[in-house]
Amino acid sequence: MLTKGALEDLIMQHLRPAPGAVPAVKKVPALKKRIFISDWELRRLYTPGARMVSVPANAILSPLSLDWLDYDGVKVLRV
């Protein structure tokens, strides 16, 4: 029966690169930090009566906030 420590050792042996192996070239570019904006945070950014709200260009808006914006006819300006 394998213990937790023995199992971890087996996994690490297979994950560790072989001696003299060349590191793999990165194929995926580094992602910039993305910001998640919830409904509550978006309501804080929104000024009452405005028809537009500004959010960072790389922001991810929650589905609830997108529904709220669509219902009130507010446009999203990504800056």
User: What dihedral do alpha carbons 43, 48, 53, 55 form, nearest 10°?
Assistant: -40
Q: What is the pTM of this model?
A: 0.53
If we measure between CA atoms, which residue out of 54, 51, 28, 31 comes closest to residue 41? 54
If we measure between CA atoms, which residue out of 68, 73, 71, 78 comes closest to residue 44? 68
Tens-place pLDDT, residues 10-61? 777 777 666 776 666 655 455 467 789 999 888 888 888 889 998 888 889 9
Q: Could you tell me the two tokens for 23?
A: 């590191």
